[in-house]
Structure 1
Amino acid sequence: LKYNGQSKWVLLVSINPGGPNGGSATQYFIGDFDGITFTPDENPYPIWLDYGRDNYAGVTWSNIPESDGRKLFIGWMNNWDYANQIPPVNFAGAMTLPRTLKLMHNGNHLVVANPPAEEVNALRGKSRELDSFRVNKSHQIKELTTEMNDVFEIEMEIETNSSSKFSFVLSNEVEEKIVFDFDLESGLFSVDRSKSGLVSFSNKFSSNKSEAPLIKREIYKVRLFIDKLSTECFINDGELVQTNTVFPSSPYNTITFNCEGEIKVNKMNVYPIQK
């Protein structure tokens, strides 16, 4: 991968157990390779490609034309902590969205960002565009998709303004929910799926929040993909990613913003994903 005109090698290491939030995960090292020896740069390792529970043992495509030049990646959307216990709902396991690997600087050090491959945009249906709005304590938007579509993308920009702690919550008609929480003071982005739907099949599935280190910023750009049984959340062009499976009894179709102080949500678009 290249950064500022310089080529760097990236060593991906898929491990199980030992992930940042338990079970399976993929860490990486950035450095140089002379054909025999890989020498990692100094970085605050371990660093993880995806801090969610469900992205493991990914692979990259070969033979991408030089005229394209991208490094494309796809992961197994599961975790050996509970892979043999997941309920047979709709399908048993899946792969992540295809992603483009690229080097970015998060303000502290280089990271391997992995946003969705640009071809994913072709799956977007007609967008529902929401005007910008401010949130004081709480703000709820119902009927995210008018046809109760359970496969969609939310794209939005969140200005932190006076808030150091805020969240958005996806929920359904029976109050099942998954919580995405930003704690700027603690420097943590966490996902809580303990009440996301069916969770009792394994005591390792939702016993703890999935936490990731969060760089404090004034603006966070979020792309959130919701499928029948999964959530893939990309922050700031894939600089920080969490992939987590869920098993709701009905589609999530409401989003609720909660905050201390005030935040502003800009440019919020909801795209149904064409099947």
Structure 2
Amino acid sequence: MYVLTISINPGAPLGGSITEYFPGTFNGAHFTAVDEAARIPDFAKDNYAGQFFYGTLDGEDAVSIAWASNWQEGWRSAMSLPRRNRLENVTRVGWDLISLPYDLRPVLGQQLASRTDLVDSTLEVDYSGVASNAIYFEANVTGLAGVGSASTLNFTIRNPEAGESVRGGYFFGDQFFVDRGGVRGFDNPFFTDKFSTLSLLRPDGTWTLSGVVDRSMLEVFVDRGTTSATALFFPTQPLTVLTLSTAQLPDSVSVSVAVYALESGWKGSENGEGIVVGNVTTTAV
């Protein structure tokens, strides 16, 4: 199976730029899509023009990286996480591009917190001491068979002093959402602040969430990467507290969560002032 990707601007459902993909077959000259659906790999607004790396070995996941931006919003200077990608034939929707973070182990730092019993309770993590201001979090849920949308899992990333926040969550068996409307560092009439997608439960009653918060970018990967979202946000002060919570879960459900610091990928290239200057041209005298 091949994947044809098309990056368009303008024309996104939420405005601005977007990437579409089409699974299909390719004979070396002609591509034939499996159907007429224009699939979108990211349900938020800031994932555009993803490019795939050449030379990955047969049998390994394809690796891509995207422009974390939207041309409509005027900011075009960040990249998404590198992602592992594969096609999976999900019965209810057909072919789906699964996307998960590429190996984070080189930058995975100290475990900041973990819980194996986050049922109808809350975990709060202060990561103000993380120099990179970047964290990784994950949640694994089991026993969800028959659970309705009154049951929820939510997360909030906030700055307690400024009162700014970005949040998201899942109404089990129904909608997953991201809301970046609680930050005030950027004003643009096309800066859509809320996004959502349908996330149906699997027959085995399991569900997962993983996410990376990197200063002013949130990337979340829902239900083993069957859907993902990339959302830039611009607070007036750094966000430093992560809260994970669940509510109205039956006794059959088990929720385990973990939060890790992420090390800066640029740390080894910083100068004495903590700035990465890139290539520098000098003139010999």
Shorter chain as denominator, the TM-score bin is 0.7 to 0.9
What is the CA-CA distance between 1:63 and the residue it aligns to?
2.8
Correspondence for 2:200 among 185, 210, 215 = 215
The AA in structure 2 aligned to 1:265 is V
The answer to whether the Cα contact below 8 Å between 1:163 and 1:260 also exists between their aligned partners in 2 is no
Residue 17 of structure 1: aligned partner: 10
Residue 40 of structure 1: aligned partner: 33
Residue 82 of structure 2: aligned partner: 98
The answer to whether the Cα contact below 8 Å between 1:178 and 1:193 also exists between their aligned partners in 2 is yes
1:193 to 1:146, Cα distance in 2 relative to 1, 3 A: closer
The answer to whether the Cα contact below 8 Å between 2:156 and 2:243 also exists between their aligned partners in 1 is yes
1:39-58 correspondence to structure 2 within 5 Å: 39-42=32-35, 45-58=37-50
Unpaired segments of 5 or more residues in structure 2?
265-285
Secondary structure, counterpart of 2:181 in structure 1: coil
In 2: Cα distance, 1:140 partner to 1:203 partner = 34
The answer to whether the Cα contact below 8 Å between 1:30 and 1:41 also exists between their aligned partners in 2 is yes
In 2: Cα distance, 1:196 partner to 1:47 partner = 30
Task: Render the CA deviation track for 1:194-214: whole Å, top value 9, x for unaligned.
Answer: 1134232x01113x5112232
The AA in structure 2 aligned to 1:147 is G
Residue 166 of structure 2: aligned partner: 178
Task: Render the CA deviation track for 1:84-143: whole Å, top value 9, x for unaligned.
Answer: xx4xxxxx721011111101233412211111112x22210121342222443x624142
CA RMSD of aligned residues (A): 2.4
Unpaired segments of 5 or more residues in structure 1?
1-7, 87-91
In 2: Cα distance, 1:70 partner to 1:95 partner = 20
The AA in structure 2 aligned to 1:112 is L
Query: So what's the TM-score if we normalise by structure 1?
Result: 0.82
What is the CA-CA distance between 1:75 and the residue it aligns to?
0.3
The answer to whether the Cα contact below 8 Å between 1:14 and 1:56 also exists between their aligned partners in 2 is yes
How many residue pairs get matched?
A: 252
> Does residue 1:156 correspond to 2:139, yes or no?
yes
In 1: Cα distance, 2:87 partner to 2:24 partner = 12
- Aligned-residue identity in percent: 24
What is the CA-CA distance between 1:169 and the residue it aligns to?
2.0
Secondary structure, counterpart of 1:234 in structure 2: strand
Residue 89 of structure 1: aligned partner: none
The AA in structure 1 aligned to 2:245 is F
Secondary structure, counterpart of 2:238 in structure 1: coil
> Does residue 1:198 correspond to 2:181, yes or no?
no
Residue 213 of structure 2: aligned partner: 226
In 1: Cα distance, 2:99 partner to 2:118 partner = 29
The AA in structure 2 aligned to 1:269 is A
What is the CA-CA distance between 1:261 and the residue it aligns to?
4.6
Residue 111 of structure 1: aligned partner: 96
What is the CA-CA distance between 1:233 and the residue it aligns to?
0.4
In 2: Cα distance, 1:180 partner to 1:107 partner = 27
In 1: Cα distance, 2:260 partner to 2:172 partner = 28
What is the CA-CA distance between 1:16 and the residue it aligns to?
1.9
Q: Please say which structure displays the higher CA radius of gyration.
A: 2
In 2: Cα distance, 1:240 partner to 1:255 partner = 22
Secondary structure, counterpart of 1:81 in structure 2: helix
In 1: Cα distance, 2:249 partner to 2:58 partner = 48
What is the CA-CA distance between 1:49 and the residue it aligns to?
1.2
The AA in structure 1 aligned to 2:164 is E
1:247-258 correspondence to structure 2 within 5 Å: 247-248=234-235, 249-258=237-246
Query: So what's the TM-score if we normalise by structure 2?
Result: 0.79
The answer to whether the Cα contact below 8 Å between 2:7 and 2:20 also exists between their aligned partners in 1 is yes
What is the CA-CA distance between 1:225 and the residue it aligns to?
0.3
The answer to whether the Cα contact below 8 Å between 2:207 and 2:224 also exists between their aligned partners in 1 is no
Correspondence for 1:63 among 51, 55, 59 = 55
In 2: Cα distance, 1:190 partner to 1:160 partner = 22
Correspondence for 1:75 among 66, 80, 85 = 66
Residue 109 of structure 2: aligned partner: 125
